[in-house]
């Protein structure tokens, strides 16, 4: 079987589709389906035989150094991702050449890029958030490629001080910029908190958006409604905020869509819990899309401005790992994780105004699916990809 595509990123400027597959990054022409570039981490074979370094030795096989995040810079010049095992931030240029690699003390869990494409904002498993210049003079590209697997403790990002921090695993973050150029970082954690912090004056916390009762794994600001924030995670609802005031405008029930026939207080199945692992937007349709990984259902909503309301339209059942929007005519790319059909790794749809999905360009997606990824022996060689539900807290004492 083939390794599934765990992350997608679409660059509008070059109409390129970036895929994160295991520890690789691939770049496709989204029109022709041509594989333009590929980045494979440097091989390990010319390393000296592993000394008994216990914990380190395990990491060296590099098998699970998979990309967990992937995003393009707004100017289309860079693609940025973060990996699990080596806890690295990897910055590649549009030809997938290494620009900057930096290792962090804790596993990165969320990244975003400032609108001027100058800085990566990175949050980690420990709740700390760092601002990392995209082109970092301290980490020139010449050193990058050969050093990716050898980035030593000394240059492991310890010189970077966090610009803000939660005392809980940081799960998502985004950088916003309003018309006056005022910027904020919105960050969310496993302890139900959504925080709004000024940037770069990150010592000023503006407010908290409090209302969640479970982890908050996804944040979204719709392009057509810049004061709005949609957040979701382990709760039975999506929260619809005005993040500039902190007001919770509405809680949008998703439980009754995910578990339509069941009674919420029914005792039969305790495990009927929500775990929203993705929230995206289709600006040209004013749609907000959320994905629940436990039920494997894509939920499509329309966001109205007057009055401000998130209206449920439709759902689509599929095992999805990531979604990328082209911003054109309701086109969306879906990364499919179907254990029965591992040949179809990616599909393309048109979403209508009413939230209905129609598959298109099947030849193109088959071309990309054939060229994308690489063969693996079995599912055991893939790290856990649907793991957002594990963020739910189980108190000890």
Partner 1 sequence: MADDQNSQLVREGSSTPGSTSNKRKRADYRQTQQERRQELKTVVFEGNDKSQDNIKLPKKKYYRQRAHSNPFSDHLLEYPISPGHMDWHKLYPALIPTKPGTATEIVKKVEIVDVGCGFGGLLVSLATEFPDKLILGMEIRVQVTHYVEDRIIALRQQHAIQGTYNNIAVLRANAMKFLPNFFEKGQLSKMFFCFPDPHFKLRKHKARIVTSTLTSEYAFLLRPGGIVYTITDVLDLHQWMVKHLEAHALFKRLSKEWEDEDPCVKIMRKDTEEGKKVERNKGDKWVACFVRLDDPE
Using CB under 8 A as the criterion, which residues of the chain lie in contact with partner 1 when the complex forms? 126-128, 161-162, 164-168, 191-193, 195, 197, 201-205, 207-208, 210-213, 393-397
**Nearer Cβ to partner 1 (4/127):** 127
**Nearer Cβ to partner 1 (197/335):** 197
Q: Residue 93 in 3-state DSSP? A: strand
Closest approach, Cβ 17 to partner 1, in A, equals 37
**Nearer Cβ to partner 1 (243/316):** 243
Closest approach, Cβ 223 to partner 1, in A, equals 28
Cβ atoms of residues 285 and 351 within 8 Å: yes
Report DSSP letters for 143-165, one per residue. Answer: HHHHHTTT--GGGSSTTPPPSEE
Residue with tokens 């005392």: 167
Q: Which two tokens stand for residue 205?
A: 């916390």
Q: Which is it for the CA torsion 117, 123, 128, 134, positive or negative?
A: negative
**Nearer Cβ to partner 1 (202/373):** 202
**Nearer Cβ to partner 1 (126/280):** 126
User: CB count, 10 Å around CB of 130?
Assistant: 22
Closest approach, Cβ 385 to partner 1, in A, equals 24
Integer Cα distance of 220 and 305 in angstroms: 16
Closest approach, Cβ 169 to partner 1, in A, equals 9
How would you write 165-210 as a 3-class SS string?
Answer: ECCCCEEEEEEEECCCCCEEEEEEECCCCEEEEEECCCCCEEEEEC
**Nearer Cβ to partner 1 (158/358):** 158
Nearest to 388 by CA among 188, 104, 185, 105: 188
Integer Cα distance of 63 and 159 in angstroms: 28
Integer Cα distance of 232 and 236 in angstroms: 9
Closest approach, Cβ 54 to partner 1, in A, equals 17
Integer Cα distance of 113 and 71 in angstroms: 8
**Nearer Cβ to partner 1 (161/363):** 161
**Nearer Cβ to partner 1 (306/396):** 396
Cβ atoms of residues 325 and 331 within 8 Å: yes
Integer Cα distance of 135 and 132 in angstroms: 9
Residue with tokens 């969320």: 110
Closest approach, Cβ 58 to partner 1, in A, equals 20
Cβ atoms of residues 258 and 237 within 8 Å: no
Closest approach, Cβ 182 to partner 1, in A, equals 12
**Nearer Cβ to partner 1 (95/203):** 203
**Nearer Cβ to partner 1 (109/197):** 197
Closest approach, Cβ 206 to partner 1, in A, equals 8
Closest approach, Cβ 243 to partner 1, in A, equals 15
Integer Cα distance of 10 and 30 in angstroms: 9
Integer Cα distance of 190 and 197 in angstroms: 17
User: CB count, 10 Å around CB of 114?
Assistant: 20
Closest approach, Cβ 164 to partner 1, in A, equals 6
């Amino acid at each position: 079987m083939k390794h599934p595509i765990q992350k997608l990123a679409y660059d509008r400027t070059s109409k390129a589709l970036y895929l994160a597959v295991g520890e690789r990054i691939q770049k496709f022409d989204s029109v022709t389906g041509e594989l333009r570039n590929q980045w494979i981490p440097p091989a390990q074979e010319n390393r000296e035989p592993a000394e008994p370094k216990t914990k380190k030795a395990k990491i060296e096989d590099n098998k699970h150094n998979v990309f967990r995040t992937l995003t393009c810079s707004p100017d289309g010049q860079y693609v940025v991702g973060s990996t699990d095992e080596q806890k690295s931030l990897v910055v590649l240029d549009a030809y997938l050449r290494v620009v900057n690699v930096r290792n962090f003390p804790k596993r990165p869990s969320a990244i975003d890029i400032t609108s001027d494409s100058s800085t990566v904002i990175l949050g980690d498993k420990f709740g700390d958030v760092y601002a990392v210049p995209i082109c970092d003079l301290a980490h020139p590209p010449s050193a990058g490629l050969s050093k990716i697997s050898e980035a030593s403790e000394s240059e492991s990002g310890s010189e970077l001080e966090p610009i803000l921090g939660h005392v809980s695993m940081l799960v998502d973050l985004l950088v916003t910029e309003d018309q006056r150029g005022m910027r904020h970082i919105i960050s969310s954690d496993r302890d139900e908190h959504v925080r709004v912090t000024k940037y770069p004056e990150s010592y000023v916390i503006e407010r908290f958006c409090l209302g969640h009762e479970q982890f908050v794994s996804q944040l979204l600001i719709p392009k057509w409604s810049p004061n709005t924030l949609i957040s979701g995670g382990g709760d039975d609802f999506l929260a619809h905020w005005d993040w500039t005031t902190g007001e919770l405008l509405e809680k949008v029930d998703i439980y009754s869509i995910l578990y339509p026939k069941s009674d919420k207080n029914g005792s039969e199945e305790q495990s009927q819990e929500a775990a929203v692992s993705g929230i995206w937007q289709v600006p040209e349709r004013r749609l907000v899309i959320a994905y629940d990984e436990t039920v494997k259902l894509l939920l499509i909503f329309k966001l109205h401005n007057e009055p401000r309301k998130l209206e449920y339209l439709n759902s689509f059942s599929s095992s999805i790992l990531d979604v990328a929007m082209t911003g054109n005519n309701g086109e969306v790319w879906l990364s499919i994780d179907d254990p029965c059909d591992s040949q179809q790794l990616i599909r393309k749809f048109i979403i209508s105004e009413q939230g209905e999905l129609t598959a298109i360009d099947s030849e193109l997606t088959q071309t990309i699916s054939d060229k994308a990824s690489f063969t693996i022996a079995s599912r055991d060689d893939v790290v856990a990809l649907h793991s957002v539900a594990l963020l739910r807290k189980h108190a000890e004492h």
